[in-house]
Amino acid sequence: MARRIVPCLWFNNTAKEAVDFYLSVFKDGRILSMDRYTEVGEEITGHKAGDIVAIEFEIRGTPFLALNAGPEFAFNPSVSFTVECASQAEIDYYWERLSARPEAEQCGWLQDRFGLSWQILPERLNEMLQKGSPEQRKRVTEAYMAMKKFDLARLEEAYGRNAG
């Protein structure tokens, strides 16, 4: 069996709520396993036997581990997850469901209600920035730097092709 890297997300006693939320947003998601605390360490963790310790889940083919812990640590934008979208409708779908802090929105980045940062990007963006001429890359970069949520038609226009 291949070894894998699984991001572990530390939640302040809201792991189950967070996983349920992510599974409602990412329709292809699923819970893979759920572990519960035992009576060992109740005085250290503050959790009772039977409380959820961790939930392994998967969204868009990526495994995650949601740790049901405490307030010691919080998410920050130095770690984010990228969602590549095929259309403006898909960008809009994820943006509307995930964005919970308008002041955190910038260049396709947003924060959800748990403080986790996401980048909602058009699939075409990498192609534009890697295969475009220097002038095309400059125009695309100037266009997206002024955006919060990406507007695929405006990016296509900046690139020099019609969105279609």
Segment 63-76 shows an average pLDDT of: 94
Segment 109-120 shows an average pLDDT of: 98
User: What's the mean pLDDT when you consider all of the chain?
Assistant: 93
Question: Is there a shared CATH topology between the 8-68 domain and the 80-159 domain?
Answer: no
Global pTM value:
0.90
Give yes or no for a contact between 157 and 163, defined as CB atoms under 8 angstroms apart: yes
Query: Which CATH number is 80-159 given?
Result: 3.10.180.10
pLDDT tens readout for residues 74-94: 999 999 999 999 999 999 999
Percent of the chain clearing pLDDT 90 (strictly above): 84
Q: CATH classification of 8-68 is 3.30.720.100, yes or no?
A: yes
Residue 127 Cα distances to 6, 54, 79, angstroms: 27, 37, 23
CA separation for the pair 61, 36 (Å, rounded): 24
Looking at residue 103, the DSSP 8-state letter turns out to be G
pLDDT at position 70: 87
With cut-offs at 50, 70 and 90, classify the pLDDT of residue 44: confident
The domain segmentation of the chain, as residue ranges, is 8-68, 80-159
